[in-house]
Structure 1
Amino acid sequence: MVVLSQPILENFSYINTSCKPTTTHFTGIPVVDLLDPEAKNIIVKACQEFGFFKVDNHGVPIEAVAKLEAEAVRFFGLPQHEKDQAGPPNPFGYGNKSIGPNGDVGWVEYLLLNANPQLIMNSSLTFPGNSQLFWKVVHEYVGAVRKMSCQVLELIAEGLKIEPRNVLSRLIKDERSDSCLRVNHYPPCPPAQQEEKLIGFGEHTDPQVISVVRSNNSTGLQIALRDGTWVSVPPDQSSFFIDVGDSLQVLTNGRFRSVRHRVIADSLKGRVSMIYFGGPPLSEKIAPLPCLMEEGEESLYTDFTWSEYKKSAYKTRLGDNRLGIFEKKIQVPL
């Protein structure tokens, strides 16, 4: 792993130690075996209580994971001037420290890539080295993770007893799906900051339907529980972690909650993570599913398209409540 060029550290953020305490590791994260006949019920409960769970027996070939991670390590280990040739992200490409257009920064460098299978192999982005091999590896990984994501979404539909079974998975199976892949590299903290908790990626929720996270065997990922307590997620390089996104929160009319999460830079080891964001087509209307709504139940949100939500989210800071402007003020009878 290569350490980022030393930035001006006062521009970065640290954990506020006056906030609710963070446990060393949280052992209560739900674990779902996709081969378990009860998987659908465990997933639904996890989405309701945490918005987050771990998946085993996921069916993603370890070779596909290892090849993409090797390509990521190779890329992030290149000299800075070579990495800069793949950026800045507009919206796809290489980014370094800046996260979005509104002033958010983190101790991170990353690649943001289009994950629509129809577009991956025809991307105009080029990378140092064998660019064709890189895109082939990305295509293989995205195909496997997308398949697993669809399986999870179909199990959610079964667990919620809604039909058709593909009512959620069709959103990312659609050939126009607006999905992306983010590959993050968090270098070790500089020696002077190794006693501090330097934020690699600030707290936020993911806007899409579902996020699928895989990282190397390094700590750093934290999630917020319902009471606001931040807990550390033990690393597991053989499993995947699933996040509920804002769009799935709306589609379930708040039955599921998108999980707030962040990454803290490690003082000794670099961290590489690969996140698949399953997004719907840009024109897709994001509203509570009629098949899920009970008689007399009101929508908690005004209707919007995925394109409208993306544009709105793009104007916010990382930690903002992006759904806030779409939330209805429901009158409670006295």
Structure 2
Amino acid sequence: MGVQAEIEFPVIEFRSADLERGTDGWHRLCKRVREACETFGCFEVAYKKISTEVREETFGLMKELIEVPVERKQKNASPMPYHGWVGPCNQVSLLYEGFGLGDASNYDSVKSFAQLMWPDGHPRFCNTIHTMATQIEELNKLIWLMLIDSYGLGEKWESVMINYKTLVRFMKYMAPPPGEYERGLFAHTDKPVSTIICDDHVSGLEIEVNDGQWIKLSLSPSSFCFVVGDPLKAWSNGRLKAVNHRVMMSGDKDRLSLAAFAIPVEGTIIKAPRELIDEQHPQLYKDFNFMDFFLFAFSDPAKHIDSGEQLQAFASLSPPISN
């Protein structure tokens, strides 16, 4: 799994035999997923339901997207942070370029995006990306259900499951100059509820496992990386870890990556289920509107707060306790 240091990063295979809810295999899987998210804040999931063919087709289409003229790329605009096109820049990285496609499991949304990028609307792009986004959304909901069941909330899963839409970002990280090891994306915790990442097998994604200790992940061809975001940490009353991660580039190959972010629908309040609050686990965060937090995280005041501390600054019910 290409991990530096002796830390064993969790790789969890989602076999169809274990995905029947309520079975012994399901409960074992739920426990492994929860423990990985509590310890690391992410894990590699081997999930063969999304075919290699769809993945390869997706990355082939992303290469076509990267070649679109800049004047068309600029039409992928949004008032929401990181929901539109971002070209290479000092604020993010000179190696980074990314596009945003909101509500990506909605075919009309994909079609509208494609019509901005290509005069003919590129039907093959629409069909493939819609399939990919829909299947990733299904995987994300499956992982959320595992977490809900693992915390004993299965009977009320419908009331604690967050209603969301999937924002897909298509990202390219350019290879750095020969012999260099350069930042492709700055270290941060995710502000959406959760993220599923897949790449074209050019490594670069790194996670912080201890203070200042980073490990590089190399996902296998049928794998994805599930990442806990700040709102999911708040939902779990601090049990789940929002992992600090970054992209660091070396070598002579560009890296393509697709990230699917869970963006709650407007008006969603993030709050911990009462079953996760007790004397041993007092409530850590106030209930908050997701969009208020999301916009705060990208505001001028928040720029002076470490990304991993923004949730604490915005929603903590008590000052941080020093170790």
Match of 1:108 among 86, 89, 96: 96
Matched with 1:14 is: none
Residue 45 of structure 1 is matched in structure 2 by 35
3-state DSSP of counterpart to 1:126? helix
Return the offset for 1:200.
0.4
Using the size of structure 2 for normalisation, the TM-score is 0.83
| Residue in structure 2 matched with residue 251 of structure 1 by the alignment | 235
CA pair 47-233 structure 1, distance change in 2 beyond 3 A: same
Structure number with the higher helix fraction is 2
- Give the drift of 1:62: 2.5
Report the aligned-residue RMSD.
2.7
- On the 8 A contact 1:25/1:232 being kept in 2, the answer is no
Is residue 2:12 matched to residue 1:32? yes
Q: Cα distance, 1:297 vs. partner? A: 3.9
Q: Which residue of 2 aligns with 1:131?
A: 121
Instruction: Give the Cα–Cα distance (whole angstroms) in 2 for the partners of residues 319 and 217 of structure 1.
Output: 30
> Which one-letter code corresponds to 2:30 in the other structure?
K
Q: Is the 8 A contact 2:186 2:247 kept in 1?
A: yes
Alignment of 1:161 with 2:148, yes or no, is no
- The CA deviation at 1:60 is 1.6
User: Which runs of no fewer than 5 residues in structure 2 stay unpaired?
Assistant: 19-24
Decide whether aligned partners of structure 1 residues 153 and 331 sit closer, same or farther in structure 2, where only a CA change above 3 A counts.
Answer: closer
What SS does structure 1 have at the residue aligned with 2:274?
coil
Matched, 1:226 2:216: no
Secondary structure of residue in 1 paired with 2:276: coil
Q: Distance in 2 between matches of 1:154 and 1:109?
A: 33
C-alpha change, 1:169 and 1:83, in structure 2 (3 Å) is farther
Summarize the Cα distance change of 1:148–1:168 in structure 2 as closer, same or farther, 3 Å threshold: farther
Q: In 2, distance between residues paired with 1:211 and 1:262?
A: 13
Given candidates 55, 58, 62, the residue that maps to 1:68 is 58
TM-score (norm. length: structure 1): 0.81
Cα offset, 1:87, TM superposition = 3.7
- In 1, the alpha carbon distance for the partners of 2:110 and 2:171 equals 21
**Is 1:145 aligned with 2:136?**
yes
Number of equivalences? 300
* SS of match in other structure, 2:157: coil
Change (3 A) 1:303 1:98: farther
Paired residue secondary structure (2:155):
coil
| Identical aligned residues as a percent | 20
1:273 alignment partner, SS class: strand
Picking from 183, 191, 209, the partner of 2:170 is: 183
The Cα of 1:25 is off from its aligned counterpart by 6.5
Runs of at least 5 residues in structure 1 that lack an aligned partner in the other structure: 1-22
1:43: Cα distance to partner?
0.5
Alignment of structure 1 residues 251-290 onto 2, 5 Å: 251-290=235-274
Matched residue, 1:18: none
Looking at structure 2, the residues matched to 113 and 59 of structure 1 have their Cα atoms a distance apart, in angstroms, of: 23
The more displaced of 202-211 and 283-292 is: 283-292
